[in-house]
Structure 1
């Protein structure tokens, strides 16, 4: 006891750092094992904590999934808004949106797969919150497509369906992307920018 007391206390790790470490561990576990097969013990082990340490920061593994989904969707929304706001025309805006969205889904494919394919495991309340963010993301793209139609740059018969097709193209990158392939995320983004513009200008 005396020797323990005479030893300088180890600084406590900031709460935010521990929570972030748990989120990274959860992302790895969900990606490797799937949501249902992952236990809080799996997550704690990857984060270097005891199982009880998870509950200090998150009430359940579903809450970890929700936080990952929330952060992923907020990042995507803000990224697309920035792309649209920084463009001088609908064509430039769509090109920037498709490039950044496809690139992001390649660079963050593990988290993107969780966000897209584990969505059904969220509670109804959490699903509603994420759906609200998805609608905001959809609105960014839909507004760009609508502006392009109004300016005569785009030829689109159905704006909602075209918006869905554009977003689906970029999101699907997370499903098939593998770091071992020769194409870089940036090259994929550039290709999808071209594909997106071709989709709305095809006659």
Structure 2
């Protein structure tokens, strides 16, 4: 029973921190703000995380790991290179749209992390990029994708998804699924060899 209560309290705390960081930024948020949103005492925050930065790191690590898992699953689902890239972009964009507040926090507050924590997050980002690079190289090898700069193109294609956290709001003109399909279509059209 205690572990269930602890998990619930921790999840409430993480959700409150995401909301506070998204609204006021890391620097503009206090642990008191987070505790109030989580309906906890300020001291309770420190039961789970020694510092506000550790709380940000927990959010960032969880968000990046979930996004990496989405890419890895998409990569493994399909062998055909064009469909693989399209699926990866579609799923990655949908995840970012559905988790836009978390995405906003982890993208814009990266610099607030300690150097050790930044290194962990940077490694997760490298793994994401490597999945896309592998998918692009497979497409180039089969002659179905045209890419002259694999690293730069992988970053640009992933940025389609990542950048939407800047402006996407649930209930807006597009659903997460619509954006996923749009981004997949754009990526494939950019990467296919030109005719003639």
Task: Quote the offset at 1:176 in angstroms.
Answer: 1.1
Whether the 8 Å CA contact 2:89–2:183 is kept in 1: the answer is yes
Cα deviation, 1:81-116, whole Å, max 9, x if unaligned, reads 100100131111101110011111111110000011
Cα deviation, 1:54-96, whole Å, max 9, x if unaligned, reads 0011011111110011001111111101001001311111011
Query: What is aligned with 1:5?
Result: none
SS of residue paired to 1:91: helix
Query: What is aligned with 2:176?
Result: 185
- The question of 1:23 aligning with 2:17 is answered no
Give the TM-score of the pair, scaled to structure 1.
0.92
Select 1:110's aligned residue among 101, 118, 132: 101
SS of residue paired to 1:198: helix
Gap regions ≥5 residues in structure 1: 1-10
* Aligned-residue CA RMSD (Å): 1.1
SS of residue paired to 2:191: helix
SS of residue paired to 1:172: helix
Runs of 4+ in 1 over 3 A off after TM superposition: none
Cα deviation, 1:161-200, whole Å, max 9, x if unaligned, reads 1101101111111111122412111000000000111111
Gap regions ≥5 residues in structure 2: none
Query: What is aligned with 1:161?
Result: 152
Give the TM-score of the pair, scaled to structure 2.
0.95
How many residues of Structure 1 are paired with residues of Structure 2 in the alignment?
Answer: 193
Query: What is aligned with 2:124?
Result: 133
- The question of 1:144 aligning with 2:135 is answered yes
Counterpart Cα distance in 2 of 1:17 and 1:167? 33
Whether the 8 Å CA contact 2:84–2:135 is kept in 1: the answer is yes
1:1-203 to structure 2, matched below 5 A, reads 14-203=5-194
Structure with max Cα Rg: 1
Whether the 8 Å CA contact 2:21–2:29 is kept in 1: the answer is yes
SS of residue paired to 2:170: coil
